[in-house]
Amino acid sequence: MDKIKRLKELTEQLNQYRDFYYNNSKSLVSDKQYDDLFDELQSLEKETGIIMSNSPTKTVGYEVKSKLEKIKHSHLMLSLDKTKSVDELREFAGNKNCLLSLKMDGLTVLLTYENGELIQAETRGNGEEGEIITHNAKVFDNIPLHIGYLGHLEIEGEAIITYKDFEDINTKLSENEKYKNPRNLVSGSVRQLDSNIAAQRHIKFIAWKVPKIEDYIKSDNSFLFRLQFVKKLGFDIVPFYTYTNISSDSENLDEMIESLKRQAKEKEYPIDGLVMVYDDIAYGESLGMTGHHPKHSLAYKFYDDIYPTELLNVEFTMGKTEILTPTAIFKPVEIDGTSVERASLHNISIMQELGISHKGQIVNVYKANQIIPQIDSVEPDNIKITDENIIIPIEICPICGADTKIIKENNRKVIICTNPDCKGKLLGKLTHFVSKNAINIDGLSEQTLQKFIELGWLNSFQDIYHLSEYKDEMSKLEGFGKRSVEKLLDAIEKSRNITLDRFICAISIPKIGKNNAKIMANKFGNFDNFKKWMYYFSDNNMDDIELSNYEYLIDWTTINGFDEKIHRAITRFISENANTLYSLLDEFIFEESNNTNGEMLNNKIFVITGSLTHYKNRNELISIIESLGGRVSGSVSTKTSFLINNDTESNSSKNRKAKELGVSIISEEDFIKMIS
């Protein structure tokens, strides 16, 4: 009776552990403890002849492993060399036929079939040796267990979880239990001992390579042929395009890339780039390999690589608003050829969502758009939090010593200084005001502005234009001479000639940067309309000015890209600062901006394709179109006004579509003439 009682206790206990493990993503016991209890239950079931209907040793349709066995691969499964340059993709292709396909972001798996049966599945591991996960592969959503080919067949591909399934899993979990991304979830799911867990995750296998195939098609040398062959056997294969460096393909490479991205989005596939591979397998293999990667393929990374490093501290600095921004300080890490040791955390909400809480944490760093350092995630650890290593939002402003407080702004927690006269707020605004994209006063560095604030010479934007009153005192300061003072004052005088868009950018309206400032300036059309609008919000008598039926209460949401938040930010800022800003206008002589053409492209929709010669990149051209009231779309439709393509006679898909729909195809030069 004691053995039967123990058997029932073990059945209930192990089912509880399993339920907590795959429904709550937590282990109540170690793998070894679980395995020992499981072995004990199996022994008791064999000895007593009793197996409960819910016994974890007999879960119908699933298999439980005591451990994952190691296996040496039949061939090396190395990482790929990578690039972030489309031109390097063209150079890689040379005069060879290639395939350009999605680079799936999951767990690489190798399947082996013998006589039509799936006999083995293994993970990539370190490239030479992986783990056998056949029991889990058999419960993937889309793997054929039996195929109509009796020879030896090996297929490489990616085990993935689509974004839809990922979100479905996460919605059932609390905030603290949610998974960071599909890649982490599928990796953990595939390497479980219990295939019941993998079965619940809707894992899919996407084939992208056939390294070994036997007998009658063994001599076939085409990468494409082999992929299409396994597709006929029932496998899902990676979306791809064939590519050669002939003129039409080369011109359409950008289109191919965008199309593959769209396909990934439509299928909700997680990807981290694209892969170009030579179709001629023998040629690709003849190129050999390095210790890291083969030379037959090249990965094109349009997402950013992540680098782990140790968090040292979090500093709080003040920008042009009252908000104190947290900045992560970490051990220097080399990214894209430069050493990085700081990254903005933006606000308290993001800091908390990332789980940043103590020094010594391992943070994963990347460069957004290959430029701006960002924290992607934080690795879990067992470091005990103490008074010495804890990181909490500061309670005292580091600039003026006043109390801080946490408030909600646009549903995000931010920390602000409660002192309305905090010099840090003024320094941030002045630094932005004199910057290159704004008023552009050469010689007024942040350090110089800080010094002038401390001396009491600067308390507002307008004070900059009266610094000549301190000319003699200035020339006696350390680092200043008579010549440098004259040079600075000349630069200040020169800055009085300004365009409206630069002035709007300079005054620190929340959510209004360089491009949005241009859009606002175009909305006003000229300085007089802007001045009347500003006057409307000030305390002056409106009867003193000719109204000219101008619409003062502008609805900014009617402009493409301006939402309700931006509308409120503009209106609130001008309402609170109208008197000061209206007075500031007297310091300037406003010039006509080269970009101020009202809304000359209003309601016009553009599509851009092919390479550019007059503009640095597409973003620059898009910015100009939007600043003039136009919009940019990714595909040609009946709503498209113009297709911009320097090769107006090319036979690309977008050109053909434009001709079918009667959409005008124009070159960059045509566009420049249009807006001149």
Q: Which residues are catalytic?
A: 103
Q: Is 18 helix (H, G, I), strand (E, B) or coil?
A: helix
CA distance 597 to 233: 60
Phi and psi at residue 108, in whole multiples of 5°? -70, 130
Q: Report the greatest alpha carbon distance in the chain.
A: 102
Spell out the residues 6+ positions from residue 641 whose beta carbon is closer than 8 angstroms to its own: 604, 605, 606, 630, 663, 664
Helix axes 163-171, 182-190, angle to 10 degrees: 80
Spell out the residues 6+ positions from residue 169 whose beta carbon is closer than 8 angstroms to its own: 161, 179, 185, 201
Phi and psi at residue 423, in whole multiples of 5°? -65, -25
State in Å, rounded, how far the first CA of the chain is from the last one: 95
Amino acid occupying residue 104: M
Pairing of strands 642-644, 664-666: parallel
Burial class (CB in 10 A: 0-12, 13-18, 19+), 570: buried
Q: How does DSSP assign 258-312, residue by residue? A: HHHHHHHHHHT--EEEEEEEESBHHHHHHT-B-SS-BSSEEEE--S---EEEEEE
- The tokens describing 432, both together, are 């932005």
- DSSP class of residue 405 equals E
Spell out the residues 6+ positions from residue 329 whose beta carbon is closer than 8 angstroms to its own: 311, 312, 313, 314, 315, 341, 342
Long-range contacts of 36-44 (CB under 8 A, 24+ apart): 37/10, 37/13, 38/14, 38/64, 38/66, 39/66, 40/10, 41/7, 41/10, 41/11, 41/14, 44/3, 44/6, 44/7, 44/10
